[in-house]
Chains A and B, each alone.
Chain A
Amino acid sequence: MGTSGGAARRVSVRVGPQVWREEVERYGQRSPARAAAERERHRVEDGGVALADVQRCADDGADRTRLAGLLKVYVPISAGPASERPFGFVLSPGRDEHGLYLTLVAFGERHPRQGVRSVYERAHKRLHGRYPDQ
């Protein structure tokens, strides 16, 4: 599936096994973060994600992350306020012979406690090879 047209355009989502291990399975089996990611993985792999639920990441974030070219979806995916969706998927758009797709590059807390990397810092490291403060 690539993108489909109309007001509810959707784009397919792919999740690689290694990135899933590194991003989601670092959380405990019963953690709210892991439960939320696993629930949404089934939804987005089956039906893609609606572009209405997707935002562009910041080119130059206040946290010094530089995520130009990446997209994000707040988790749980819903129409509720962002304050009720504490986690995020960061996705990288790509293309292959089947068309456009999004692939998971980071998952985690949007505003973690001090000392824990945010989902944006983890995405920055995958994109640039180091954390923004290194």
Chain B
Amino acid sequence: MARMAVAVKKLDVSLGDVVEIDGRRYDVVSDKAGGVTLEPAITQSVAEIHAEHGGQALSSEEFEHAFGHLPSDGEG
């Protein structure tokens, strides 16, 4: 079988880095087998999302007061 002519591009990245390929961002994460793999990036924390809206997350006491009565199916 003929070998494919592939130009290998070496990336200098580590776990936790974010890379951009063709305009899309990816997290560099463990593949659980000693290597790394790419996943669609998550670059904004919950706190930062609230700050973007000019608010802040409820405290656990406020959460229980407002939403503690709601059901949970335990799925996630």
Using a CB–CB distance below 8 Å, which chain A residues touch chain B? 3, 14, 16, 18-19, 22, 26, 51, 54-58, 61-63, 65, 67-72, 82, 92-97, 100-101, 103-105, 110, 117-120, 122, 125-127, 129, 131, 133-134
Contact flag A19-B49 (CB < 8 Å), given A93-B67, A96-B55, A101-B55:
yes
Determine which of A51, A117, A126 lies in contact with B44 in the assembled complex, contact meaning CB atoms within 8 Å. A126
Determine which of B45, B55, B60, B67 lies in contact with A71 in the assembled complex, contact meaning CB atoms within 8 Å. B67
- Residue B9 at the A interface, CB < 8 A? no
Within 8 Å CB of B74, what residues of A? 58, 61-62
Determine which of B32, B41, B55, B70 lies in contact with A55 in the assembled complex, contact meaning CB atoms within 8 Å. B70
A62 to B54, CA, bound (A): 34
CB pair B42–A94 under 8 Å, yes or no, is no
Determine which of B56, B62, B72 lies in contact with A56 in the assembled complex, contact meaning CB atoms within 8 Å. B72
Within 8 Å CB of A56, what residues of B? 67-68, 70-72
Contact flag A117-B52 (CB < 8 Å), given A58-B75, A62-B74, A110-B75:
no
Q: Mark B12-48, 1 if CB is under 8 A from A, else 0.
A: 0000000000001100011010000001111111100
Q: When A and B form their complex, what is the total count of cross-chain residue pairs whose Cβ atoms lie within 8 Å?
A: 114
CB pair A92–B57 under 8 Å, yes or no, is yes
CB pair A100–B66 under 8 Å, yes or no, is yes
Determine which of B42, B49, B56, B76 lies in contact with A125 in the assembled complex, contact meaning CB atoms within 8 Å. B42
Within 8 Å CB of A3, what residues of B? 66
CB pair A126–B45 under 8 Å, yes or no, is yes
Q: A22-B43, A57-B72 are in contact. List 13 more A-B contacts (CB 8 A).
A: A16-B49, A19-B49, A54-B67, A58-B72, A62-B75, A69-B60, A94-B58, A95-B55, A96-B55, A120-B75, A127-B45, A131-B29, A134-B30
CB pair A55–B72 under 8 Å, yes or no, is yes
The residue of chain B having its C-beta at the shortest distance from the C-beta of A57 within the complex is B76
